[in-house]
Structure 1
Amino acid sequence: MYEKYNSIPNFSGKKILVVGLGLSGIWTVRWLAGHGASITASDTKPERDIDSTVIKELRELEVTLETGGHKAETFLGSEMIIISPGVSNDMDLLLAAKKRGVPVIGELEFAGRLIDTPIIAVTGTNGKSTVTTFMGLLLENAGFKVFIGGNIGTPLMAHAAGGKKADYAVIEVSSFQLDTIETFCPFVSVILNISPDHLDRYNNYESYVQSKLRIFENQVPGQYLIINDDDERLCSIDSSQGVSVLRYGIEEKVGRNAFIRDKRIRVCLDGLEDRAFSFEAFVLPGRHNLENLLALMLAGMTLGIDPEVIQKTVDQFKGLPNRLEQTSEVKGVLFCNDSKATNVDAAVRAIASIDRPLILICGGRHKGADYSPLVRAAQGKVKRAIFLG
């Protein structure tokens, strides 16, 4: 088992720097303030661009605020630095602090050391939020108390600071969070897929892939890694540390634990009776959502959830907003909001899931990916494209 704090260290008077004042940073500050730390919070945004209620709360907690940029003396003079996911861990000031021997960890790593709740961690380039929410609903339907969060909106640090007990923590985990782990160790890790993304932050695609694969680096025998066997970067993955590796894919193949046969999902686990599930009532479109469903069912059976509860949850789940969300239909024209498709692969999968001619509206920020897969996907399906931004 990975190393946690056996007892909470004495943070009283300790000089802690929290970098980044998003939700992760704010919850980290709240926890540290409750344990007597001497806290500085630093953010590149000027104070006027930070929510005034946040500023008011931090001042009431007697936090020293540094906004509009970072100060070298603060980084170098801290006893510990905790960074938010949006902060690059190769920032020059962080590298200088590490060289001086200042411990630098991420919010996810810090929270993981503070809790003893079994963690189900979901990562991948696409589908993380859907599967995290779906998994949380499944556990709640099975009667468990569940914390649902992570990169999906409510940071794990909120669970650590909130004081509410949970049977499981189901968390979405980003590559940025995995970049800063040291001992973080889920009970169940799920990797949905990997395709080029965030190449404006990583030196190359392989660096991004290796970041995603860190999710299971601390797992041990008795824990589980669930991977998409249809993904070309995941199908060859194995674990050298004895973790139980479970595989899923659309077609039945040797070594797969979940697949589709005769229009039903089959889940096959050692020591358990093989189970078949219907997905007739499952409303989310596209092959990618079937892959996500396979991951969900495999995780549910691994956790020993009653198959009837799994089937009920599948039948009632309607998906999340902004993900191929059918907003209206006017004179036979269907309008879909897929604004959470923030990378090329997500857009390609969305186009593939629509069975009628498309008018595609695209925009956003370039993150270094190759757009040729999107061009190929659009050929013969997209009648017009509108580009914004």
Structure 2
Amino acid sequence: MSQKILVAGSGKSGVAASRLILKTGDEVILYDSNDAIKKDELLNQFKGEGAIRVLLGELRKEDIKEVDLCIISPGISLDAPFVSVLKEADIPIWSEIQLAYHHARGKLAAITGTNGKTTTTALTGEIMKAYYDHVFVVGNIGIPYTEEALKTTEDSVTVAEISSFQLETITDFKPNVSAILNITPDHLNRHKTMDCYIKVKESITQNQGEQECCILNYDDPVLREFGKTIKPKVVYFSSRGKLEEGYCMEGDLIVFNHLGKRQEIVSTGDLKLLGRHNHENVMAAVAISMEMGVPLDIIKKVICEFKAVEHRIEFVAEKAGVKYYNDSKGTNPDAAIQAIKAMPGPTIVIAGGYDKNSEYDEWIESFEGKVRYMVLLGQTREKIAECAARHGFTNVMYAEDMQEAVSVCASYANSGDYVLLSPACASWGMFRCYEERGDIFKECVRNL
């Protein structure tokens, strides 16, 4: 007997979830609280795909009388008014990744953390593709897991980038290998407290047992302690000190120490990725791949050939002796700190955007001796400027749009300087997404 499933959110994730549900023979009610959306345009995306109706605006009790399950898109907060209507009716709420997992087959590696997820997921995916025949790279990286779930087989491998939003409503989601790269303050406008944010990130392991594995950052004190409390096998990595067991740095070498044996993985000089944070991403990807059964010689080849992910400390161009880097994916202060550390010389930073209730003190402190000027955009520009002033950094300018910001940087930069777009903020308000922000930055640079 078919189920009637409410899909909340009509964006990319909601559409992909709806398509999966229709393919499995169930009915879909596609719901969005935005009553300005045109029903006909939504329905046209599903012509001939099955029983679907669109519901917009306020969700009422009578709308969900026959609903068996709700799939909620990651961009929707569990504090949204319609969620309380669902809870009162005792309707289960699943995340999009939970729905995908319910229908998927094969092995799964799932990667979360505040920063580095996209690079680690992309790199791990490339390693898997070099060894396995059927590999799917999905999740927060851009392709909804639900879009690929029904294509998986018992022999396939899926690598998924998982956000805290997606983890809020999992039930039996259980990766073969999970990884938590780091946890620093982010999305506190949604999760409210750090304790809540940490617990959501750690929930990626909640269904794992002794047969599964979790990769953790030993340098993160929260994760180091967490590793002592969980059921799955724990493998640590560290960029700051030697580990008797795990992946770590010895000078410029990444090594693996296990059961008294030392194995050299790679010299960081042979990598195309810049910065210590990227060396951590490489260690995490290597650890995941080893646990997923990929031979070391294949891993070594891929990690040495892999280039930076688009929008993550991505080299754009050199103009008049000035090198421009796009780090639009740096949407929180900690990510922006890592980008500044990766710049080899004097830097002008473009920053600012949507306010996620972040604090900027540590980021401003990381400017010392490297950042010459900062050009600010968006909602947070006054907040960031005030924070900078408290720390004695006053070389701050405002810009109304990205074109003006890039022009200001070009006029103030000297030959040998670096211009870095690393906003420390989300893109919303001025741009649809961080990708659009990065693309516009790159276009402005190329037009100089």
2:349 paired residue number: 360
CA-to-aligned-CA distance 1:109-151 (integer Å, 9 cap, x gap): 1211222221100001111111111001001112332110111
Any idea what SS the aligned residue of 1:314 has?
A: helix
- Of residues 367, 371, 378, the one that matches 1:382 is 371
The two structures, once aligned, show a CA RMSD in angstroms of 2.2
- Of residues 221, 238, 241, the one that matches 2:227 is 238
Consecutive aligned runs of 4 or more in structure 1 exceeding 4 Å deviation: 46-51, 163-166, 270-273
Work out the number of aligned pairs and report it.
377
2:174 paired residue number: 185
Measure, in 2, the Cα distance between the counterparts of 1:48 and 1:113: 30
- Cα distance, 1:99–1:18 mapped onto 2, change above 3 Å: same
Query: Which amino acid in structure 1 is aligned with residue 280 of structure 2?
Result: E
- Cα distance, 1:72–1:375 mapped onto 2, change above 3 Å: farther
Measure, in 2, the Cα distance between the counterparts of 1:172 and 1:346: 16
Q: Is the 8 A contact 1:150 1:156 kept in 2?
A: yes
Segments of structure 2 that go 5 or more residues without pairing to the other structure are 379-448
1:381 CA drift (Å): 1.8
Segments of structure 1 that go 5 or more residues without pairing to the other structure are 1-9
Measure, in 2, the Cα distance between the counterparts of 1:232 and 1:239: 11
Any idea what SS the aligned residue of 1:236 has?
A: helix
Q: Is the 8 A contact 1:326 1:337 kept in 2?
A: yes
Q: Is the 8 A contact 1:16 1:78 kept in 2?
A: yes
Q: Is the 8 A contact 1:247 1:257 kept in 2?
A: yes
Any idea what SS the aligned residue of 1:200 has?
A: helix
Query: Which amino acid in structure 2 is aligned with residue 316 of structure 1?
Result: E
The reply to whether residue 139 of structure 1 matches residue 128 of structure 2 is: yes
Query: Which amino acid in structure 2 is aligned with residue 37 of structure 1?
Result: D
TM-score in terms of structure 2 length: 0.79
Measure, in 2, the Cα distance between the counterparts of 1:102 and 1:326: 48
1:47 CA drift (Å): 5.3
- Of residues 89, 96, 110, the one that matches 1:107 is 96
- Of residues 20, 26, 30, the one that matches 1:31 is 20
Q: Which moved more, 1:309-318 or 1:291-300?
A: 291-300
2:208 paired residue number: 219
- Of residues 358, 380, 395, the one that matches 1:369 is 358
Measure, in 2, the Cα distance between the counterparts of 1:354 and 1:344: 16
The reply to whether residue 281 of structure 1 matches residue 270 of structure 2 is: yes
Q: Is the 8 A contact 1:42 1:69 kept in 2?
A: no
1:76-225 → structure 2 map (5 Å cutoff): 77-162=66-151, 167-225=156-214
Q: Which moved more, 1:359-368 or 1:69-78?
A: 69-78
- Of residues 34, 44, 47, the one that matches 1:56 is 44
Measure, in 2, the Cα distance between the counterparts of 1:46 and 1:121: 35
Measure, in 1, the Cα distance between the counterparts of 2:205 and 2:319: 47
Q: Is the 8 A contact 2:242 2:250 kept in 1?
A: no
Measure, in 2, the Cα distance between the counterparts of 1:270 and 1:158: 41
Q: Is the 8 A contact 1:83 1:105 kept in 2?
A: yes
1:275 CA drift (Å): 4.0
Measure, in 1, the Cα distance between the counterparts of 2:262 and 2:336: 38
Q: Is the 8 A contact 1:120 1:170 kept in 2?
A: yes
1:96 CA drift (Å): 3.0
CA-to-aligned-CA distance 1:163-186 (integer Å, 9 cap, x gap): 666521100000001100111110
The reply to whether residue 253 of structure 1 matches residue 246 of structure 2 is: no
- Cα distance, 1:49–1:274 mapped onto 2, change above 3 Å: farther
CA-to-aligned-CA distance 1:368-389 (integer Å, 9 cap, x gap): 1111112111233211111111
Query: Which amino acid in structure 2 is aligned with residue 384 of structure 1?
Result: Y
- Cα distance, 1:291–1:163 mapped onto 2, change above 3 Å: closer
Query: Which amino acid in structure 2 is aligned with residue 209 of structure 1?
Result: I
Q: Is the 8 A contact 1:247 1:255 kept in 2?
A: no
The reply to whether residue 349 of structure 1 matches residue 338 of structure 2 is: yes
2:8 paired residue number: 19
Query: Which amino acid in structure 2 is aligned with residue 229 of structure 1?
Result: Y
- Cα distance, 1:160–1:336 mapped onto 2, change above 3 Å: same
Q: Is the 8 A contact 1:267 1:297 kept in 2?
A: no
CA-to-aligned-CA distance 1:62-86 (integer Å, 9 cap, x gap): 4111234544432454221111111
2:429 paired residue number: none
Query: Which amino acid in structure 1 is aligned with residue 269 of structure 2?
Result: E
1:241 CA drift (Å): 4.8
Measure, in 2, the Cα distance between the counterparts of 1:210 and 1:281: 37
Measure, in 2, the Cα distance between the counterparts of 1:378 and 1:253: 28
TM-score in terms of structure 1 length: 0.90
